Amino acid sequence: MAFKEISTRELQINPFSAIGDEWMLVAAGTPEKFNMMTASWGSVGEMWSKPVAVTVIRPQRYTDQFIKENDYFTLSFYGDDKQIHKVCGSKSGRDVDKVKETGLVPVFDNGSVYFEQARLVLVCKKIFSQTMDPAGIIDQSIDKWYPDKDYHNVYVGEIVKVLVKE
């Protein structure tokens, strides 16, 4: 099945169920070296007069180095099948070949990487990054997510392409 490009205004998803329930793969890299990881935190919306997606990645995650080193990252969605996420959410690309373990087929597109099996892909050009500053935490209940003080790196990407399965 091929992908069809649509505008961000045509996108018909509930971001709360897509990100929070379905989950997504965050991917970045080159044909020579790339990685992907499962994520269930993030957002999509409008910022700086641009359609954007936000993803957060802990600094020890292998995928973080790929997003830091590259101009693009992708967020891709796979429906209710959690098999991909069982591998990509529990194993590091430092230790295993996630493509081989999942059967994912990478697609390289103008500096981005995503996978043929996705039902939806958001291709994002990185426009902002910053490590979360714990001084900015107002609601102290949030701090429970950081017992090791490994605050997420925040990446905001302009959504430059939306691909849906035809």
Tens-digit pLDDT profile for residues 6-52: 999 999 999 999 999 999 999 999 999 999 999 999 999 999 999 99
- Tally the C-alpha atoms within 13 A of residue 112's C-alpha that lie toward its C-beta: 22
Query: 3-165 belongs to which CATH class?
Result: mainly beta
Q: What is the pLDDT of residue 1?
A: 63
pLDDT value of residue 64: 97
Q: What is the mean pLDDT of residues 108-125?
A: 96
Q: Across the chain, what does the average pLDDT equal? A: 95
Give me the residue spans of the domains in the chain: 3-165
Tell me the C-alpha to C-alpha distance, in Å, between residue 87 and each of 96, 101, 159.
Answer: 9, 7, 26
Residues 46-101: tens digit of each pLDDT: 999 999 999 999 999 999 999 999 999 999 999 988 889 998 888 898 998 899 98
Reported pTM? 0.94
Dist. CA 91–CA 98, nearest whole Å: 8
